[in-house]
Structure 1
Amino acid sequence: MAHFEGEMMRKNKNSRILIITAVLLLSIASVLFAYRSAAHMVIKNMTAMHIDMDESTEWSGGKSYIKVPYALDSQSQYLDLYVPNTAINEEAPHLFVLVHGGGFIFNDSQSRQAQLMYRYFRDNGYACATINYRLAQEEPFPGALCDVKAAVRFLKAHADEYGYDAEHIAIWGESAGGYLAVAASVTNDNEFMDVEYIGQKEYEERTGEKLSAKVDICVDYYGAVELTDKSDDWKTLGVPKFVVNIANSWLHTDVMEGYSDVESFWQRKETSQMSEEEKAYSDIYTYVAENISKDFGVKFWIAHGDCDITVPILQSERFYDTVKELVGEGNVFYRVVEGSGHAGDIMYSDEELSGLKIFLDENL
C-alpha cells in the first residue's frame, strides 16, 4: 500500500512539472507572438554580421592629418583628415565630411562607424574629414551644430593647403551625427554660424566675402532627426518599452545629470516641458520648411535599418516623404537595409557603401 501511494505521489509530481512547463512554454510563446516584431528585431540584432576591422592606423594611400583644430573655443574642436594621392583620378579628390554619432554624449572622430566610412571612401578616391565636436556634457545645443558648420567652412577655406576639391562637398552623419549633418545641410548661412573657424578673419579680409557652410549632398544614416518622445513610434512598430530600454541601456548613465533622455540633456530642459517656440528652435522641420525648395541644390541619401531599436525607422520615413515633396523625387534616395539594427555593420558592408559611392560619384 505504501509503495502504491508513493508511486501515485511521484506521478502527480511529474504531472505538475509537465503542467508548469507547458504553461511556461505557452506563456513564452504568447509573449513572442504578441511582440513578434520586437522579437524579430532582437534576433536580427543578436545575429547580425560583424566586420573585422584592421586596428592599424597606417595608411599608404595618401596623407593623414590627425587632430587638426578648426576652431579655438575648445580642445574638442578638431578633425582628422585623409587625402588620397591625386594619382588615383588625376584630379583633386572630392571632399566627404563625416560626423560621428553617439547620442550627443559619446564617441569622437574615430568612432567605429566613422572609421568604417573613411577607410572605405579614402581608399576609393575621396578626401575624408571626420569631425570631432563638443559633446552635450561640455556644451548644450546648438554647440555641436555650430561646430559642424564651422568645420565645413574651415575645410573650404583650407582646401588648397591640403589638396582636395571643396567646390563640391558631401556630408554624412549617423544617429546623433545624422541629426547634425542634416541640420547643417538644411539651415542657411544666417543660422548656427556662431563659431569662428581658424583663418576666418584672414580669409574674409583676403577675399572680401564670407564662406558658406552649404554642402551639395547630405547622407543621413539612421539619423535622430526628431528630438522628441519616441513612444508612439515604438508602439506603431510593435516594440515594447522594456525592449527599447534594454537595447539602449548604454544611454542610461549618470552623464545625463538627471535628465530623462539625451535629447533633454543636450537642450538642458525636458522636451516634455518645452514651449512650442523652444521645440521649433531645435526642430529640423522648422528649417526644412523655411529653407528647402525645388532649387535648394542639396541632394539627400537616407538609409535606415528595419531592425533599429534606438532610432525608429519611422523618423527616416517621415523625413524622406517631407524632403521628397520639396526637392523632388529625383533628388532624394531612401534605402531600407533589411535586418540591420542601429549602427549595424551591414550598413557599412562593401555592398552598401558601393551603392552610396555610385550616388556620390554621379552627383558630386
Structure 2
Amino acid sequence: MFNRVSGPSALGRDAFGVARPHTGEFGELVFDSLVYSAPDGWRPLFMDVRVPSDPRVDSPPPLVLWVHGGSWVHGSRKRRPVDVERAWFIERLLLAGYAVASIDYRLAREVPFPGPAVDVRAALAFVHTHAGDLGFDADKIVVWGESAGAHLGLLTGASSERFAALGGAADHPGEPAPKPAAIVDWYGPADLPRMLATSAEAALGGNPEALRQHADFEQFLSMGWDADAASPERVLQGDCPPVLLVHGTGDTMVPVGESRALAERLGQLDVIHELVELPGGHVFAGSDSMLPAIEASLDFLRRIVGDPFAEVAPELLGDPDEVDPGHRLSDAEVADMRAGFRAGVAEAWGDERIPGVSSRDLTLDGPDGAIGARLHEPDYVPLGRERELPLIVEFHSGGFVVGDLDTHAPSAARLCAATGAPVLQVDYRVTPEHAFPAAYADAVASVREAWARRDDLGLAPGREISRVVLYGDSAGGALALSVALELRSQAEIVVDRVVAIYPVVEWTDIRLWPGMSRYLGAATEAEIDPADPRLRDARLAPGMALELQNLPPVQLAVGSRDRVLEQSLAFAYRLKAAGNALDLQVLPAVPHGFNVMSAATPLFAAAAARVDRLLARRLWEG
C-alpha cells in the first residue's frame, strides 16, 4: 500500500503524500503527481496515472507507461507534441480501455547517462509494485514512448544485469524493474553512435542547423551516452518482450533506418516484433498518419496484452443507431418518427414526475410568428441568490425533425431541479415543414426575447434573472453553440455559459440522421452537394466557424459510444486552442441520446446526473 504518513521526518518518496484521486474528463480515476522516485540529491520525480472506469468492464485494465520525448533535454509528463495533443492521444488509450501513467524523468542536462534510463526503470518498478493500489493489471504493463522516450522505453527490455554490465546501472534491490509485457517504440533512436555518424554526414554540407545539431549530439554522447547500454540495438537480447516499431518514412530527425535496423536485430534475436512504416516526418509531421499510428499501436496491444472490451457484447460497442443515407423519408414516415419518439420518451419516463418544479407555457415573439415555450421554475433556489438567477434556455434534440416541448419536458424539469435554476424550453421550427435557417432564427430570437422579458416571465416574487445559459443536446446543442457565436459580441445579453450535449457541430463527417437532409431541402443525404456553402455555415454547423475566440465558458458532454465523439473531440481542441474555458465530459459506455432518455436506464441517469451536477456547481460557485 501507499505510505500515506509523510512529513519532514520521512525520506525519499515517502516524504511526499498521496493526493486523493479525482474523476477526470473521460470519467477515469486520476491520481495526480505521484512521486515514484526521489533520488538522493535530485528533484522528486512525478507521474500522473489515469485509470479508465467503464461499467462494461469488470477486470483491471492493462497499463501503458508513457515516456515523453524531447531529445532527452526537453519535455515533461504534462507536455506532448502538438499533433499528439490534437489527436487526444492519451485519451484514446483510455477510451480503448487502457490505464495510462505519464512520467517525468531527469533530463540529460541534469544528469549524465544512465540517469534518465534508471528513472524510467524505477517508474516501471513503481507501477508494478502499486498496481493493486492504482487499479490495473500488474502483469499487463506496456512501456510506450516517442522519440527520446521511445529510446528510454526500449532499454526496459533489457534485464537489470545486462543493462548494468554494458555501462548502465543495476536496479534498486528493493524494487527491481520487471520486464514489461510489451514495448511500443514510436520513432526512437536504436543505436546512438550510428546516429552520431548520420548527423556528421548531414553536417558535411555546411548547413548551420545541421552543424549545430551535430555539435550538440556530439557533446551529448560525451556525457556517458556512448555506452553500449545506451543503445537498444546493442543491449537488447532474446528475452526482450514483444516490440512494435512505428516510424515516419520522411523522418529526418530520427531516420526510419533506425527502426529498420532494430527490427532486423530483433529478428535475429527471435524477439516478437512488428515494424509499421507510415508517411510523415518526425511525430508523423506533414501527414495524416497520427490516427493510423495510434490505431496500429492499439491493435498490437490488443493482440499482445488483450482487448479490455473483448468480453463486451457487440451491441454495447459503438453507437446503436444505424443510418441509411439513401433513404427517402416521406411525410408519413416523419409523422411516424415523431409519434415513435414521443412514445419512447413516455415509456422511458413512465409516471415519474420531478418534484419541486412548477411549469407553465408561454409564447415568445419570433421572426415569423410566435414561438412556443415552456418555463420550468424550481420551488427552491440557493439562499441569497434569488436576484442573480441564471435562465437556462433549452434547445431540444431531434435532428431538426422530431422533438417538442412535451418530449423534452421531463428532462428539462430534471435539469431545473438539479441546478436550482429556471429552464425555458424553446419550441423552434423543425423540418420538413421549415428549412434552414428557420431553427437557428428561432433560437436567436427566443434568447433575445427572453432576455428582454426577463422581468416579465412570471417568476416567483423576489426572483430576478441576471444571466442566460444556452443549453441543448444533439441538434439543440449545435443551436446553443451557434447562438453563442452570434451573441458573443453583443454585450447587452449576459451569456454566462454554453452547455452542449453531444452536439452535431459538423455535417460533413457523419451519417445524417433520417430527415436531417430535408432541413437543407434535399430528399436524401446523398443528394446534398458537398460544395453547398450551407455545410460550412456556422448557423448550421458551429464547428465550421473560422474563429472561436471570446466565447463564454463551454461545457461539452458526449458519450464514449456516440457517433459524434470524433467531431466533439476535434471541436473541444479548437475551443481550448482559442483560449476558451472548457469543461469536457466524455461519459463512459454512453451512446447518443442519453440526456432526453435519462430515465430509461441507470447508466443514462448517471450520465445525465454528472452533466447536471457540473453545471450546478459552475452556476453557483463564487
Structure-1-length-normalised TM-score = 0.66
- 3-state SS, counterpart of residue 320 of structure 1: helix
The aligned residue for residue 284 of structure 2 is 344
The aligned residue for residue 420 of structure 2 is none
The aligned residue for residue 221 of structure 1 is 186
**Structure 2 counterpart of 1:75, from 17, 38, 43:** 43
> Partner letter of residue 214 of structure 1?
K
Contact 1:172 1:218 (8 Å CA) reproduced: yes
- 3-state SS, counterpart of residue 112 of structure 1: coil
Return closer, same or farther for 1:185/1:63 CA change in 2, 3 Å cut-off: same
The answer as to 2:203 corresponding to 1:260 is no
**Superposed CA offset, 1:241-282 (max 9, x none):** 669864x79x85xxxxxx92246326526x8xxxxxx64243
The answer as to 2:242 corresponding to 1:299 is yes
Structure 1 unaligned segments of length 5 or more: list them.
Answer: 1-56, 202-209, 253-258, 272-277
Return closer, same or farther for 1:235/1:165 CA change in 2, 3 Å cut-off: same
> Partner letter of residue 180 of structure 1?
L
Shift of 1:164: 0.7
1:1-364 map, 5 Å: 58-73=24-39, 74-113=42-81, 115=85, 116-188=88-160, 191=164, 192=168, 196=172, 211-228=176-193, 230=195, 233=198, 246=209, 260-262=215-217, 264-265=219-220, 267-268=222-223, 279-288=227-236, 292-293=237-238, 296=239, 298-328=241-271, 331-338=272-279, 340-344=280-284, 349-364=290-305
Return closer, same or farther for 1:244/1:120 CA change in 2, 3 Å cut-off: farther
Contact 1:172 1:181 (8 Å CA) reproduced: yes
Return closer, same or farther for 1:111/1:266 CA change in 2, 3 Å cut-off: farther
Return closer, same or farther for 1:152/1:100 CA change in 2, 3 Å cut-off: same
Aligned mates of 2:250, 2:109 — CA distance in 1: 29
Aligned mates of 1:332, 1:155 — CA distance in 2: 24
Aligned mates of 1:314, 1:122 — CA distance in 2: 31
Return closer, same or farther for 1:187/1:286 CA change in 2, 3 Å cut-off: farther
Q: Which moved more, 1:181-190 or 1:160-169?
A: 181-190
- 3-state SS, counterpart of residue 244 of structure 2: strand
Q: Which moved more, 1:115-124 or 1:307-316?
A: 115-124
**Superposed CA offset, 1:92-113 (max 9, x none):** 1101111111111000112224
> Partner letter of residue 124 of structure 1?
A
Larger RCO (alpha carbons 8 Å, 6+ apart):
1
Shift of 1:76: 4.8
Return closer, same or farther for 1:102/1:155 CA change in 2, 3 Å cut-off: same
Contact 1:152 1:213 (8 Å CA) reproduced: yes
> Partner letter of residue 223 of structure 2?
R
Q: Which moved more, 1:75-84 or 1:113-122?
A: 113-122
Contact 1:150 1:193 (8 Å CA) reproduced: no
Aligned mates of 2:126, 2:64 — CA distance in 1: 14
Q: Which moved more, 1:75-84 or 1:92-101?
A: 75-84
Shift of 1:216: 1.3
Q: Which moved more, 1:345-354 or 1:307-316?
A: 345-354
Aligned mates of 1:228, 1:267 — CA distance in 2: 11
- 3-state SS, counterpart of residue 166 of structure 1: coil
Shift of 1:327: 1.9
Contact 1:173 1:181 (8 Å CA) reproduced: yes
- 3-state SS, counterpart of residue 343 of structure 1: helix
Shift of 1:89: 2.0
> Partner letter of residue 264 of structure 1?
Q
Contact 1:150 1:213 (8 Å CA) reproduced: no
Return closer, same or farther for 1:349/1:144 CA change in 2, 3 Å cut-off: same
Shift of 1:83: 0.5
The aligned residue for residue 44 of structure 1 is none
Contact 1:80 1:130 (8 Å CA) reproduced: yes
Q: Which moved more, 1:79-88 or 1:299-308?
A: 79-88
Aligned mates of 1:143, 1:67 — CA distance in 2: 20
- 3-state SS, counterpart of residue 139 of structure 2: strand
Q: Which moved more, 1:219-228 or 1:259-268?
A: 259-268
- 3-state SS, counterpart of residue 70 of structure 1: strand
- 3-state SS, counterpart of residue 260 of structure 1: helix
Contact 1:103 1:262 (8 Å CA) reproduced: no
Shift of 1:225: 1.8
> Partner letter of residue 190 of structure 2?
V
The aligned residue for residue 522 of structure 2 is none
Structure 2 unaligned segments of length 5 or more: list them.
Answer: 1-22, 306-622
Contact 1:61 1:123 (8 Å CA) reproduced: no
Aligned mates of 1:283, 1:359 — CA distance in 2: 24
Aligned mates of 1:283, 1:352 — CA distance in 2: 24
Contact 1:302 1:334 (8 Å CA) reproduced: yes
Return closer, same or farther for 1:347/1:360 CA change in 2, 3 Å cut-off: farther
Q: Structure 1 or 2: larger helix share?
A: 1
- 3-state SS, counterpart of residue 303 of structure 2: helix
Aligned mates of 1:268, 1:64 — CA distance in 2: 36
Structure-2-length-normalised TM-score = 0.40
Contact 1:189 1:212 (8 Å CA) reproduced: no
> Partner letter of residue 315 of structure 1?
E
Q: Which moved more, 1:137-146 or 1:108-117?
A: 108-117
Aligned mates of 1:177, 1:308 — CA distance in 2: 16
